[in-house]
Chain A
């Protein structure tokens, strides 16, 4: 069964460094998302991407964040200058229709 994959599974970085989190959505899906989950908290929406552009973003998704779909398969989230509070589990999700989203296993980001 097709699934969303994410790399790396874990990332440790120093505050102020740039990180790129990678995702391979399910083939033929049209809608792509990033969510994050701070330890012990709810899963929260960051950004949605459709037709090669951002369709919606949350207040969390400020100028330090960017997303890209550089080719037909990868979907990336870049954090330009990481802060301590960016430490979280980051989930990529994709869907064929808007109502149904399939999540990847996540990347655990730790900012020191």
Chain B
């Protein structure tokens, strides 16, 4: 069974700080997605990474896929209160129709 472990579960920081969220597995994924989810809403796609070692940037967010495609990280530079939310990683397995396996999420709170 493929599992994705996210850490930390909770993160409370001050505006302007940097942070990194981790997503780890013992399994290889063909791709990995990062989503952000607000309470009572659906996950909103932030990025998809496909190639081992791939790095993608989205403004102040930097996403990295591990070389072995078993792990990923999300780094936020100079966090702002608007970054507050639940960040989910989701891995797609190979050889199928790419059902997503979700992590439990990291809940981020950025205080002014």
Q: Which residues, 76 to 111 on A, are CB-close (under 8 Å) to B?
A: 89, 91, 98-106, 108
Contact, CB under 8 Å: A48 / B99: yes
Task: Return the contact of A91 from the options B42, B50, B103 (Cβ within 8 A).
Answer: B42
**Complex CA–CA separation, A101 to B104 (angstroms):** 18
In the complex, which residue of chain A has the Cβ closest to the Cβ of B49?
A99
- Tell me what chain A mostly uses at the interface: helix, strand, loop, or mixed: strand
B interface size (C-beta, 8 A)? 25
Complex contacts, B98 vs chain A, CB 8 Å: 31, 48, 98-99, 101
Cβ proximity bits B69-104 to A, threshold 8 Å, 1 near / 0 not: 000000000000000000010101000111111111
Chain B 33-59 interface 0/1 with A at a Cβ cutoff of 8 Å (1 = within): 101000011111100101000000000
Q: How far is the CB of A14 from chain B (nearest CB, A)?
A: 23
Q: Mark A32-49, 1 if CB is under 8 A from B, else 0.
A: 010100000011110010
The answer to the question of A17 belonging to the interface, with a C-beta cut-off of 8 Å to chain B, is no
Q: Does B62 contact A (CB under 8 A)?
A: no
Answer whether A33 and B99 are a contact pair too, CB < 8 Å, given A100-B45, A105-B42: yes
Contact of B45 with A56 in the complex, beta carbons under 8 Å: no
Residue of B31, B42, B88 with highest tally of chain A CB at under 10 A: B42
- How far apart sit A106 and B38, CA to CA, in the bound complex (Å)? 12
How far is B45's CA from A100's CA once the two chains are assembled, in angstroms?
8
Contacts from B to A (Cβ < 8 Å): 30-31, 33, 35, 40-45, 48, 50, 88, 90, 92, 96-105
Q: A56-B97, A103-B44 are in contact. List 14 more A-B contacts (CB 8 A).
A: A33-B100, A45-B100, A48-B99, A50-B97, A99-B92, A99-B98, A100-B31, A101-B33, A101-B45, A103-B35, A103-B43, A103-B45, A106-B40, A108-B40
